[in-house]
Structure 1
Amino acid sequence: MSSDPRILVVAPDDDLVGPLCQGLDALGWRTVTARSLAGAVQVLIDWPLEAVILDARLDEAEEGARAMRHTVSPRRLPVLVIGAEASNWEPGLIDIAMSAPPHAAQAALRLEHLVRTAIAEEEVGLREATFASRGEPLATAVADSAPLRVLAAGKPDRHFIALSNALVAHGCDVVAAPTPYTAFDYLHERPFDAAVLWGAEDHAPALSIASGMKRNTRLYHIPAVLYLRGSGEINLAELYNRGFADVAAADTPEDETADRIVALAHAHRRHLAIRRALEGARGSGLTDPATGLFTRELFASHLARIAEGARLRRRPLSVAVLRVSDTEAVVEARQGGWLDRALPQIGAMVSRLIRTEDTAARLSSDIFALALPATRGPAARIAADRIAAVIGCTAFDAGPDRAPFVVEFEVGVAEVMPGESPAVVLERASADIGSARR
Structure 2
Amino acid sequence: MGSDPRILVVAPDDGLIGPLCQGLDALGWRTVTARSLAGAIQVLIDWPLETVILDARLPDAVEGIGALRQTVTPRRLPILAIGPDAATWEPGLADIVMSSPPHAAQAALRLESLVRSAIAEEEVSLREATFAARGQPLPIADLDATPLRVLAAGKPDRHFLALSNALTARGCEVVAAPTPYTAFDYLHERPFDAAVLWGAEDHTPALSIASGMKRNTRLYHIPAVLYLRGSGEINLSELYNRGFADVAAADTPEEETAERITALARAHRRHVAIRKALESARGSGLTDPMTGLFTPELFASHLARVAEGARLRRRPLSVAVLRVSETEAVVEARKGGWLDRALPQIGAMVSRLIRTEDTAARLSPDVFALALPATHGPAARIAADRIAAVIGCTAFDAGPDRSPFVVEFEVGVAEVAAGESPATVLERASKDVRVSA
TM-score by length of 2: 0.99
1:357 is the counterpart of 2:390? no
Q: Cα distance, 1:91 vs. partner? A: 2.9
Matches within 5 A, 1:97-136: 97-136=97-136
| Cα separation, 1, equivalents of 2:74 and 2:2 | 24
After superposition, give the CA deviation of every residue in 1:270-292 in whole Å (9 maximum; x if it has no partner): 00000001111000000000000
Matches within 5 A, 1:30-429: 30-429=30-429
Structure 1 unmatched ranges of 5 or more: none
Q: What letter is aligned with 1:126?
A: L
Q: Cα distance, 1:359 vs. partner? A: 0.1
Q: What letter is aligned with 2:103?
A: H
Q: What letter is aligned with 1:59?
A: P
| Cα separation, 1, equivalents of 2:422 and 2:60 | 44
Q: What letter is aligned with 1:49?
A: L
Q: Cα distance, 1:34 vs. partner? A: 0.3
| Cα separation, 1, equivalents of 2:4 and 2:338 | 48
| Cα separation, 2, equivalents of 1:47 and 1:200 | 42
Q: Cα distance, 1:140 vs. partner? A: 2.1
Q: Secondary structure at the match of 1:225?
A: strand
Q: What letter is aligned with 1:420?
A: E
| Cα separation, 2, equivalents of 1:153 and 1:92 | 28
Q: Cα distance, 1:417 vs. partner? A: 1.1
1:12 is the counterpart of 2:12? yes
Q: Cα distance, 1:194 vs. partner? A: 0.3
| Cα separation, 2, equivalents of 1:388 and 1:332 | 20
| Cα separation, 1, equivalents of 2:369 and 2:59 | 48
Count of residue pairs brought into register by the alignment: 436
Q: Cα distance, 1:92 vs. partner? A: 2.2
What's the C-alpha RMSD, in Å, of the aligned pairs? 0.9
Q: What letter is aligned with 2:162?
A: A
Percent of counterpart pairs with the same letter? 86
Q: Cα distance, 1:88 vs. partner? A: 2.5
Runs of 4+ that moved beyond 3 A:
none
| Cα separation, 1, equivalents of 2:416 and 2:131 | 22
Q: What letter is aligned with 1:376?
A: H
Q: Cα distance, 1:411 vs. partner? A: 0.3
Q: Secondary structure at the match of 2:28?
A: coil
Q: Secondary structure at the match of 1:418?
A: coil
Q: Cα distance, 1:142 vs. partner? A: 1.9
Q: Cα distance, 1:162 vs. partner? A: 0.4
TM-score by length of 1: 0.99
Q: What letter is aligned with 2:197?
A: L
1:433 is the counterpart of 2:420? no
| Cα separation, 1, equivalents of 2:24 and 2:323 | 37
After superposition, give the CA deviation of every residue in 1:136-184 in whole Å (9 maximum; x if it has no partner): 0010232101000000000000000000000000000000000000000
| Cα separation, 1, equivalents of 2:175 and 2:169 | 14
Structure 2 unmatched ranges of 5 or more: none
After superposition, give the CA deviation of every residue in 1:377-432 in whole Å (9 maximum; x if it has no partner): 00000000000000000000000000000000010000011221121111100111
